[in-house]
């Protein structure tokens, strides 16, 4: 029996801590959240030690500091290849929220929120939505590679379904920032004799 199979709850807690750490918006997230107690409340939970999986049935609520995750079901597992650890929260929708240092709330929601620890990829599938300070990205699928800081959003391509991005003016234009003066361009002057 491998070391991972002996402690499925410890593995799940490690996976959840990884998810919470990665979901936190790095520069803006409350710094103390990840040092807080992690509490998982569920109607029931089961561990499949042979397959290295733990399932929390819901409604499931996960709280750590100002971080809140709500789902109908949460699965934490290491696939047979043992290369990757994954967390999958499902719901109608599953939601994530966290208070940021500036007091705003960052949120994510989708029918399925999946996080792969090995690739640091967060995938929101089905009615996916990211929202920070009123700026939003919505689509059928949103993938965010946290390490590479790459975001891909896709629609189903059917009918009127489209990826929608809404950016609030204050998020791309800081009026309190000092105005930069353009450098003066010297004008050629002719010297008269």
Nearest to 21 by CA among 98, 74, 79: 98
Calpha distance 17→89 (Å, rounded): 14
CB 70 within 8 A of CB 56: no
CB 163 within 8 A of CB 132: no
CB 114 within 8 A of CB 127: no
Position 30 in a domain: yes
Position 179 in a domain: no
Peptide bond into 167 cis (omega under 30): no
CB 106 within 8 A of CB 97: yes
User: What pLDDT is recorded for position 193?
Assistant: 47
Position 82 in a domain: yes
pTM (two decimals): 0.70
Helix (H) or strand (E) holding 3: helix 3-6
Q: Which residues neighbour 189 within 8 Å (Cβ) at sequence distance 6 or greater?
A: none
Q: Is the pLDDT of residue 25 over 70?
A: no
Rounded to an integer, the average pLDDT of 89-111 is: 88
Rounded to an integer, the average pLDDT of 56-69 is: 88
Q: Residue 26 belongs to a domain with what CATH number?
A: 2.60.450.10
Position 185 in a domain: no
Domain count, the chain: 1
Position 121 in a domain: yes
Position 189 in a domain: no
Rounded to an integer, the average pLDDT of 44-71 is: 89
The residue range of the domain holding 29 is 3-171
Q: Is the pLDDT of residue 88 over 70?
A: yes
Higher pLDDT, 75 or 173: 75
Position 47 in a domain: yes
Position 64 in a domain: yes
Residue for token pair 């699965």 = 75
Calpha distance 52→7 (Å, rounded): 9
The model's confidence at residue 13, banded by pLDDT at 50, 70 and 90, is: low
């Amino acid at each position: 029996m491998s070391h991972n199979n002996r402690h499925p709850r410890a593995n799940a807690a490690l996976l959840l801590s990884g998810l919470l750490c990665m979901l936190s918006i790095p520069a803006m997230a409350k710094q103390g959240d990840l040092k807080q107690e992690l509490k998982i409340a569920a109607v029931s939970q089961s561990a499949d030690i042979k397959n290295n999986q733990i399932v929390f049935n819901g409604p499931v609520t996960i709280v750590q500091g100002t971080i809140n995750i709500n789902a109908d079901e949460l699965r934490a597992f290491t696939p047979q290849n043992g290369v990757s650890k994954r967390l999958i929260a499902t719901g109608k929708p599953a939601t994530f929220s966290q208070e940021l240092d500036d007091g705003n709330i960052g949120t994510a929601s989708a029918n399925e929120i999946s996080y792969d620890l090995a690739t640091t990829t967060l995938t929101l599938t089905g009615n996916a939505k990211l929202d920070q300070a009123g700026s939003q990205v919505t689509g059928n699928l949103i993938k965010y590679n946290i390490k590479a800081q790459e975001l891909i959003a896709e629609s189903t391509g059917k009918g009127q379904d489209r990826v929608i991005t809404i950016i609030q003016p204050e998020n791309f234009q800081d009026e309190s920032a000092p105005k930069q003066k353009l450098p003066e361009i010297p004008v050629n002057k002719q010297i008269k004799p």
